[in-house]
Amino acid sequence: MIKTIAGTKDTLPIEIYKWHYLENLVRSVMKEFNYKEIRTPIFEETALFSRGIGESTDIVSKEMYTFMDRSETSLTLKPEMTASVVRSVLEHSLDKQQQLNKLYYISPMFRQERPQAGRYRQFHQFGAEALGASEPSLDAEMIILAYDVLKKLGLKSLDIKINSLGIPESREYYKTLLKKYLSDKTVHLSDESKKRLDTNILRIFDSKDETDQKIMEDAPLLLEHLDNDSLEKFERVKELLLLAQVPFEVDPRLVRGLDYYTNTTFEIISNSVGSQSALCGGGRYDLLANHIGDRNIPGVGFAAGIERILLACENENCLSINDENPYVYLIRLNKELVKETYNIGLKFRRAGISVELDYLNRSVKAQMREANRLNTRKALFVGGDEYENGEVVLKDMDTGDQEIIKISQLDGIIKKIKG
């Protein structure tokens, strides 16, 4: 028996309605904010990600699915979308066609992480990227967008954390302060953090090691050493979030360790999903395009993990109603009316109303059971005396009310149902 690979999973028909609901919601919120969908290949040249995400990150240093293809080109399954979106904008000169490109995606991602609840090796993200402006209103828009989707799903237990990383110039100075602070504490740091001292010192704030965390509690904070322009931008983001009634807290320890990250960074956490609590992360990356390509395009974006969001929905009892069941079940009362029942079903289906009927020659009782199992809103009985009189009976499954309908008037009824 061949099974799925650890860290991957099948999405079965019983749960697919949740995915459809979420995806439809994402599409409609993105439309409200005028973001256009972009789709990029599942795999890209490895160099795109090693440059675009950064050699010193966990993703690039230990999580990517990288392989040589038959012509000895190193390819990688995409571990995130930002680098691919920026590549695509540069490659197709979208930035020259219009200055601001507001893009969104829904896509599988691949990272070889240790599988656990809420952490997979193939997982799915939706996200948005706005390329072409460094206006703080776009930074706020990213947070509002992500928050609106999560709220509209019915999630309540959410925390938004925001921070500003300023610009590389002020960060360089700050890094020397941090290094100085850590210089006499190095021996106590975890091995991972020791390595980060030289490669990615800011990321020591991310360490899960308790001693590291204790040490970092008294560390100087980047937020206290920002340049004036960055501070002003941060204030603008906060103002807009307040105006949008999006609750947030400033977390000066929320970092992203790469030089091309600038200004805003944020995370949305759920308190209902256990240890893998980050539903969404994002920030501004004004210097990334120049890193990947040949020109500057300021950008800001976020990515949200669909599996984790659905886990939060399950724990908070959102999305519990399956709205994808057929609307009506046709119950054939006489065995010989197979063709006739089938044809009535077709009428509904072609008019855009979802119908199920019996394909297994089941008894009337078993057909009723099936209608109940499928939780259809209506049952339509075809057969018996009514059928001889050119009629069928439409039963409301909730109220039990029955309505006798002339088959010749079925089109009118279908129209009425469609409303």
Cα–Cα distance, 43 to 37 (Å, whole number): 18
The number of angstroms, rounded, from the C-alpha of 361 to the middle of its chain's C-alpha atoms is 42
Return the range that interacts with ligand AMP (CB under 6 A); candidates 86-94, 117-125, 178-186, 210-218: 117-125
- DSSP for 87-107, please give it: HHHHHTTHHHH-S-EEEEEEE
263: its two tokens: 């200004």
Phi, psi of 159 (to 5 degrees): -125, 135
Q: Is 305 in the site for ligand AMP (CB under 6 A)?
A: yes
Do 315 and 276 touch, CB atoms closer than 8 A? no
Instruction: Give min distance, CB of 147 to ligand AMP, in A.
Output: 14
Q: Is 307 in the site for ligand AMP (CB under 6 A)?
A: yes
Cα–Cα distance, 186 to 201 (Å, whole number): 12
Q: Is 54 in the site for ligand AMP (CB under 6 A)?
A: no
Cα–Cα distance, 64 to 113 (Å, whole number): 9
Identify the residue among 54, 132, 281, 383 touching ligand AMP (CB under 6 A).
Answer: 281
Residue closer to ligand AMP, measured from CB, 213 or 276: 276
Residue closer to ligand AMP, measured from CB, 163 or 367: 163
Do 104 and 84 touch, CB atoms closer than 8 A? no
Identify the residue among 87, 111, 171, 233 touching ligand AMP (CB under 6 A).
Answer: 111
Cα–Cα distance, 134 to 321 (Å, whole number): 41
Eight-state DSSP code of residue 113: P
Identify the residue among 83, 138, 204, 280 touching ligand AMP (CB under 6 A).
Answer: 280
Return the range that interacts with ligand AMP (CB under 6 A); candidates 68-76, 286-294, 298-306, 390-398: 298-306
Find the binding residues for ligand AMP in span 58-97 (CB under 6 A).
80
Instruction: Give min distance, CB of 219 to ligand AMP, in A.
Output: 23
The number of C-alpha atoms within 13 Å of 166 and in the hemisphere containing its C-beta is: 19
Residue closer to ligand AMP, measured from CB, 278 or 397: 278
Q: Is 308 in the site for ligand AMP (CB under 6 A)?
A: yes
Q: Is 22 in the site for ligand AMP (CB under 6 A)?
A: no
In the complex, the residues that contact ligand AMP under the rule CB under 6 A are 80, 111, 113, 119-120, 123, 125, 278-281, 303-305, 307-308
